[in-house]
Amino acid sequence: MHRTKVRVVEDALDANNTIAGANRSDFDRSDVTVVNLMSAPGAGKTTLLERALEDIAEEGLRVGVLEGDVQGSFDADRLSVLHIPVVQLNTDNGFGGECHLDANMVRSALPAVPLDKIDVLIVENVGNLVCPAEFRIGEDSRIMVCSVTEGEDKPLKYPLMFRACELVIINKVDLLQHLDFDVDRLEANIKQVNHDATVMRVSAKTGEGVDEVRAWLKALPARVAAEAAHDHDHADHDHPDHEHAPA
Amino acid sequence: MHEFDLSNAIVQTVNKHAAGRRVTHITLRVGRLRQVVKDTLLFYLAIVGKDTPCEGATLEIVDVPAVLRCNTCENEWEIEIPAFICGTCGPGAVEVATGEEFMVESIEVEDEEDAACTAPR
């Protein structure tokens, strides 16, 4: 038997990224902008969606939600009162499920998502600050929710997640008066790991700051389209081999 | 805990390139910013690689330091804590030079003797 060294030099996540690219093509074909919404468990993703998506169709934005959960349809049930398309995606195989969504799981759920009837698809990932940051699902933008009950140092402990996101929503600010929590320090820590992130202070419970989130969502499709057009021009003129690499 | 899925991704990539040959050694480049716990990765790789061409392969993890570059002053420096800020110019033009790698660099496979002799050198 003879041993041969084989040069590979391949990102081990290429297989996932390829499927994410296929998802992306499907989204682009239907002109749907996709948001990957991530947080630790209990940060308030679903409550935020309940608030932020209320009657948003009346303001001209058709939103659908893909709900990723380890088990159950509690979150999807809560969102059903919004009268928007909500699709449940469980990661459980019967013995405890995946801790994140990957491109293939999202792909398997796509046939149930009415892409031709929505402008924005929000994919609510499984609550977790580590794994979801690793796996692209074909999204245009990533949002994370962190809450003021979690500790100011979280950006320094989970830099991969905080660096991956374009918008960081600090939730539960209505609780600040009861807590010994330095929200300015949290924001400084976010900026230390991700200077370009937009940071919003929100209470999904009282509604404080939620309008800002709605405005951000409503502006997203046009901004993504403008960036894609710019990248496309850029690619044609300067970098013929340019790939839209994940951030 | 993401190490389980990362192990799956490694095994998939390696087996694709092994093309049915038994894999004896895997060299992986892992950037410090990936937050990968080496021992956990080794533990899961043994499980995930079982009954595949990867079974029994030794794993070598090459650490890639987290190096930032400032596009304003063109300085490069290694970081030990997550502070993505240039000491001279501030945070505006800082980018990651190295440290985000998660790459199968090479594998060692067993070839049949005959095949090895006729293979192009």
> Residue A106 maps to which CATH number?
3.40.50.300
pLDDT of residue A245: 45
In which domain, by residue range, is A203 found? 14-235
Predicted confidence band of residue A228 (pLDDT cuts 50, 70, 90): confident
Q: Do A13 and B2 touch (CB under 8 A)?
A: no
| Domain assignment of residue A34, yes or no | yes
In this model, does residue A222 exceed pLDDT 70? Answer: yes
In this model, does residue A202 exceed pLDDT 60? Answer: yes
Interface of A with B in 178-207 (CB under 8 A): 191-195
Any B CB within 8 A of A15 CB: yes
Any B CB within 8 A of A99 CB: yes
Report the residue from A8, A99, A130 with minimal CB separation from B13. Answer: A8
Instruction: Report the percent of chain A where pLDDT is more than 70.
Output: 93
Q: Please list every residue in chain B whose beta carbon sits closer than 8 Å to the beta carbon of residue A130.
A: 1-2, 35
| Domain assignment of residue B107, yes or no | yes
| Domain assignment of residue A120, yes or no | yes
Q: Do A6 and B104 touch (CB under 8 A)?
A: no
Structural domain count of chain B: 1
- Report DSSP state, residue B73: T
| Domain assignment of residue A5, yes or no | no
- ipTM rounded to 2 decimals: 0.80
Average pLDDT, chain A: 91
Structural contact between residues A221 and A33, judged by C-beta atoms closer than 8 angstroms? yes
| Domain assignment of residue B93, yes or no | no
Structural domain count of chain A: 1
Structural contact between residues A148 and A192, judged by C-beta atoms closer than 8 angstroms? no
Gap from B73 CA to chain A (nearest CA, Å): 17
Q: Please list every residue in chain A whose beta carbon sits closer than 8 Å to the beta carbon of residue B87.
A: none
pLDDT of residue A213: 98
The pLDDT tens digits for B39-85 are: 999 999 999 999 999 999 999 999 999 999 999 999 999 999 999 99
Interface test mutation site (partner A, options B2, B25, B34, max chain A beta carbons within 10 A): B2
The pLDDT tens digits for A128-186 are: 998 899 899 999 999 999 999 999 999 999 999 999 999 999 999 999 999 999 999 99
Instruction: Report the percent of chain A where pLDDT is more than 90.
Output: 79
Question: Which CATH number does the domain housing residue B18 bear?
Answer: 3.30.2320.50
The pLDDT tens digits for A49-64 are: 999 999 999 999 999 9
Question: In this structure, what token pair is assigned to residue A53?
Answer: 């998506």
Residue appearing with tokens 């309008």: A211
In which domain, by residue range, is B35 found? 3-65+98-111
pLDDT of residue A246: 47
- Inter-chain Cβ pairs, chain A and chain B, closer than 8 A: 109
| Domain assignment of residue A88, yes or no | yes
Can you tell me the mean pLDDT for A14-20? 93
| Domain assignment of residue A29, yes or no | yes
Q: Do A3 and B17 touch (CB under 8 A)?
A: no
| Domain assignment of residue B50, yes or no | yes
Please enumerate residues of B whose Cβ is less than 8 A from a Cβ of A.
Answer: 1-2, 5-6, 9-10, 12-14, 17-18, 24, 28, 33-35, 81-85, 91-92, 94, 102-113, 116, 119
Predicted confidence band of residue A71 (pLDDT cuts 50, 70, 90): confident
Predicted confidence band of residue B113 (pLDDT cuts 50, 70, 90): low
Q: How far apart are CA A147 and CA A167, in angstroms?
A: 14
Any B CB within 8 A of A18 CB: no
pLDDT of residue A135: 92
| Domain assignment of residue B57, yes or no | yes
Q: Do B13 and A10 touch (CB under 8 A)?
A: yes
- Report DSSP state, residue B52: S
Report the residue from B12, B102, B113 with minimal CB separation from A15. Answer: B12
Any B CB within 8 A of A221 CB: no
User: Which residues are CB-contacts of A160 (< 8 A; sequence separation ≥ 6)?
Assistant: A130, A133, A134, B33, B34, B35
In this model, does residue B116 exceed pLDDT 60? Answer: no
| Domain assignment of residue B7, yes or no | yes
Structural contact between residues B98 and B64, judged by C-beta atoms closer than 8 angstroms? yes
| Least confident window among A135-139, A232-236, B32-36 | A232-236
Instruction: Report the percent of chain B where pLDDT is more than 90.
Output: 82
